[in-house]
Amino acid sequence: MLQALYQMQLADCSAAEAERQFRQDYDMKRVDTEYFHDVLSGIERERVDIMSALDPLLGRESKALDPVERAVLLIGAFELLYRIDIPYRVVINESVELARQFGAAESHRFVNSALDALAKQCRVVERSGSRNG
């Protein structure tokens, strides 16, 4: 997923093109292809709204983001905003791990901060329930 979003940014290609390329070039047997498709196409479709939600939380211009950081943030923000079936803690933890593995030295802290702030806005009920239970 991260690689596909990275490719979409660098090659300026659509989600459909990136997905087609991945299906052609990679063994997708162990990939949840429905999730892969839903997230890629969802990010493309909702990108303006996702970035509108993220921009005030970044503390810098989104255009200045490293492509890997941007891809990680897009995945995490999409899941927080549109995939409420995925617990916010799981979204943040997985995003932080992706940033730790593939991002710049301190990008995991930046990703954690931005997605935690977004979760406070869009997962209010879930967050309050996790504190009480």
How distant, in Å, are the alpha carbons of 90, 92, 97, 116 from that of 104?
Answer: 21, 17, 12, 19
- Measure the CA–CA gap between 111 and 96, rounded to whole angstroms: 6
The pLDDT, as a whole number, for residue 117 is 97
**Where is 131: in which H helix or E strand?**
helix 124-132
More confident residue, 82 or 22: 82
What three-state secondary structure class fits 61? coil
The pLDDT, as a whole number, for residue 85 is 95
Judge whether 75 and 83 are in contact, CB under 8 Å.
Answer: no
Residues spanned by the domain of 101:
2-132
Judge whether 10 and 67 are in contact, CB under 8 Å.
Answer: yes
Question: Residue 82: which residues within 8 A CB-CB, separation 6 or more?
Answer: 42, 46
- Measure the CA–CA gap between 131 and 113, rounded to whole angstroms: 19
Mean pLDDT across the stretch 2-27? 92
pLDDT above 50: residue 7: yes
Judge whether 114 and 58 are in contact, CB under 8 Å.
Answer: yes
Give the chain's domain count. Answer: 1
Task: For residue 85, give the CATH number of its domain.
Answer: 1.10.940.10
Closest by Cα among 57, 59, 20 to 36: 20
The pLDDT, as a whole number, for residue 130 is 62
pLDDT digits (tens, 9 = 90+) for 38-52: 999 999 999 999 999
- Measure the CA–CA gap between 116 and 120, rounded to whole angstroms: 6
Share of the chain above pLDDT 70, in %: 97
The pLDDT, as a whole number, for residue 62 is 84
pLDDT digits (tens, 9 = 90+) for 77-100: 999 999 999 999 999 999 999 999
